[in-house]
């Protein structure tokens, strides 16, 4: 049946579409290889930086791999990583044939997509590293691509093992937390004993080769082999539920409906609100109904969402360190991390947007309702910004970094909250969008702009840090440069809030 369906798909498919997809992949890869390398510059790293990277690089990369493995284990405990079509679950897996045949075939088809993007991203990162470190550019690209592929294989293989052995969520979380803690202890003690650190050695092989890197190469393949060998034990009930959710998720992604994607992703991860809140929001809180409801929602956040926001805060802090020490291009990563945290923080407004009939029954204009739902996320994101800036200040360890952090904390929080609110209020694009433009290409450009504008709002809050770093390089006043640069995010926030307040209906 699978062979007949595949032959039918090939016969009915248009080779032009396949060629166009390959063309886009090649173009994006080439652009990333050349332009990102130019954006990060070609200045050679100092001897101390190279030494620190040689000693500490594998363990920090190992921590990142450990986090990916923990996420993979959690996904496997929830029924992932496979997402078969509903007819496959109903007919093929209930047929009188070994289930491992069906599962293994689906896993091998999924493996191509699992490895492709991480390999490309790793190759791009290796090309960027080659501009700053000694060694052949080809060697760095190969090492980066290999690291991306191995990290993806390890996380995917762990998900297969957790799913095939039917591990509980608690057991998967415990094993993932132990691996993350092991990698963190390596960083604290300046050791490299964790298995994920050996995978990190592969990325830095052109800088310093170690035979332990062979462990990092063999480990992902061994885990994937175990997952494929045990794959017949995967439970069918989670797969049936997952098949329905993945189908809806792909449809929402086609429509670029970010809100539906977030909701479906939380259902896939079984990210349910707590039955007992972390704290109780008393009636004595002097806040409006919208703000009180937002805080009540935060009190019922599951631990997984809190951990995700804290990790995003840490990513923002590490990216700010990279921007301060290396290149301003890292500010894009920090801005995106704050925006993603803001999307989680704007849950109250998103729920209001999901029920337009209820909002129409409230004697408050929709624009005012939106602004009321921005206050609590801005306060919550101030905590996120403090975490990220604390990491930034602690690593840099200078008074200038502390002063810049104090100046940037509130613009970062408010810009992220306003950017997330803009994404929610804008909603999904109209299905007839292409009819509003004389050429379809203009419609595509507008779709891209609609997705880029909300994170760009959050990104404007990183401008003071860039100006402060430039002032430090030119021996000028760091605080003065940072304060003057806050005019840009303040202006963008004011204009955006004016646009939000003028909304008269739910989009």
Q: At which of 233, 249, 265 does a domain end?
A: 249
| Higher pLDDT pick, 362 / 142 | 142
> pLDDT at position 248, please?
75
In a domain, 215, yes or no: yes
Q: How many domains does the chain have?
A: 3
Q: What is the 3-state secondary structure (H, E, C) of 302-344?
A: CHHHHHHHHHHHHHHHHHHHHHHHCCCCHHHHHHHHHHHHHHH
> pLDDT at position 507, please?
46
Binned at pLDDT 50, 70 and 90, residue 438 comes out as low
Do both 83 and 169 map to the same domain?
A: yes
First to last CA, the chain: 44
Do both 135 and 61 map to the same domain?
A: yes
pLDDT digits (tens, 9 = 90+) for 367-410: 888 888 899 999 999 999 999 999 999 988 888 889 999 999 99
Give the pLDDT mean for 180-194.
90
Do both 8 and 131 map to the same domain?
A: no
Cβ count near 449 (within 10 Å): 10
In a domain, 259, yes or no: no
> pLDDT at position 155, please?
95
Do both 321 and 373 map to the same domain?
A: yes
In a domain, 268, yes or no: no
Quick check: 2 pLDDT over 90?
Answer: no
Reduced to 3 DSSP states, what percent helix, strand and coil does the chain have, rounded to the nearest 5? 80, 0, 20
| Higher pLDDT pick, 292 / 18 | 292
pLDDT digits (tens, 9 = 90+) for 352-366: 888 777 777 777 888
Do both 67 and 33 map to the same domain?
A: no
Do both 44 and 193 map to the same domain?
A: yes
pLDDT digits (tens, 9 = 90+) for 91-129: 777 888 888 888 888 898 888 888 988 998 898 888 888
Do both 292 and 385 map to the same domain?
A: yes
| Higher pLDDT pick, 444 / 218 | 218
Structure token digits, residue 43: 């200045």
In a domain, 262, yes or no: no
pLDDT digits (tens, 9 = 90+) for 22-77: 666 677 666 666 666 666 666 676 777 777 788 888 998 999 999 999 989 988 88
In a domain, 352, yes or no: yes
Residue pair 407/483 in contact (Cβ under 8 Å)? The answer is: yes
Instruction: Provide the sign of the torsion angle of the four alpha carbons 295, 296, 297, 300, taken in this order.
Output: positive
Do both 232 and 319 map to the same domain?
A: no
Structure token digits, residue 292: 């009180």
Q: DSSP characters for 361-409?
A: TSSS-HHHHHHHHHHHHHHHHHHHHHHHHHHHHHHH-SHHHHHHHHHHH
| Higher pLDDT pick, 72 / 265 | 72
Alpha carbon distance 232, 226 (integer Å): 11
Full domain range(s) for residue 7 = 1-38
Do both 333 and 423 map to the same domain?
A: yes
Q: At which of 212, 230, 249 does a domain end?
A: 249
Structure token digits, residue 114: 């699992």
Do both 477 and 383 map to the same domain?
A: yes
Do both 451 and 477 map to the same domain?
A: yes
Closest CA to 452 of 434, 426, 432: 426
Do both 34 and 44 map to the same domain?
A: no
Give the pLDDT mean for 451-471.
91
In a domain, 258, yes or no: no
In a domain, 271, yes or no: no
In a domain, 327, yes or no: yes
């Amino acid at each position: 049946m699978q062979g007949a369906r595949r032959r039918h798909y090939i016969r009915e498919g248009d080779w032009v579409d396949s060629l166009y997809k390959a063309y886009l992949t090649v173009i994006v890869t080439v652009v990333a290889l050349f332009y990102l390398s130019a954006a990060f510059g070609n200045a050679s790293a100092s001897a101390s930086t190279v030494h620190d990277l040689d000693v500490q690089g594998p363990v920090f990369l190992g921590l990142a791999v450990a986090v990916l493995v923990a996420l993979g284990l959690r996904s496997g405990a929830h029924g992932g990583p496979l997402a078969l079509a509903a007819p496959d679950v109903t007919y093929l897996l209930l047929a009188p044939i070994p289930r491992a045949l069906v599962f293994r075939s689906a896993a091998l088809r999924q493996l191509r997509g699992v490895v492709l993007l991480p390999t490309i991203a790793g190759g791009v990162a290796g090309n960027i590293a080659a501009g700053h470190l000694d060694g052949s550019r080809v060697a760095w690209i190969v090492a980066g691509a290999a690291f991306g592929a191995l990290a993806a294989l390890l996380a995917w293989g762990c998900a297969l093992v957790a799913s095939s052995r039917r591990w509980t969520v608690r057991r998967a979380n415990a094993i993932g937390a132990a691996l993350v803690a092991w990698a963190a202890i390596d960083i604290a003690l300046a050791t490299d004993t964790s298995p994920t650190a050996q995978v990190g050695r592969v990325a830095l092989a052109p800088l310093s080769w170690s035979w332990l890197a062979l462990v990092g190469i063999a480990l992902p393949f061994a885990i994937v082999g175990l997952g494929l060998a045990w794959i017949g034990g995967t439970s069918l009930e989670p797969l049936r539920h997952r098949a329905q959710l993945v189908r809806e998720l792909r449809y929402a992604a086609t429509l670029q409906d970010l809100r539906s994607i977030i909701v479906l992703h939380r259902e896939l991860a079984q990210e349910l609100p707590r039955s007992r809140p972390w704290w109780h929001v008393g009636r004595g809180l002097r806040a409006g109904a919208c703000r009180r409801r937002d805080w009540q929602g935060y009190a019922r956040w599951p631990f997984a969402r809190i951990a995700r926001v804290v990790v995003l805060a840490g990513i923002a802090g590490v990216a700010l360190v990279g921007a301060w020490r290396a290149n301003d291009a890292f500010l894009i990563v920090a801005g995106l991390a704050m925006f993603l945290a803001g999307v989680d923080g704007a849950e109250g407004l998103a729920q209001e947007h999901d029920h337009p009939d209820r909002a129409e029954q409230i004697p408050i204009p929709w624009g005012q309702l939106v602004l009321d739902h921005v206050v609590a996320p801005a306060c919550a994101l101030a905590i996120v910004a403090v975490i990220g800036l604390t990491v930034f200040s602690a690593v840099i360890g200078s008074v200038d970094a502390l002063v810049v952090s104090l100046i940037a904390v509130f613009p970062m929080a408010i810009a992220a909250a306003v950017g997330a609110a803009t994404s929610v209020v804008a909603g999904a694009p109209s299905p007839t969008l292409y009819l509003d433009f004389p050429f379809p290409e203009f419609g595509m450009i507008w779709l891209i702009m609609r997705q880029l504008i909300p994170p760009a709002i959050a990104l404007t809050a990183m401008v003071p840090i860039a100006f402060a770093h430039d002032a430090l390089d030119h021996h000028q006043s760091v605080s003065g440069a940072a304060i003057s640069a806050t005019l840009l995010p303040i202006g963008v926030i004011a204009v955006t809030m004016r646009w939000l307040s003028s909304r008269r209906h739910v989009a």
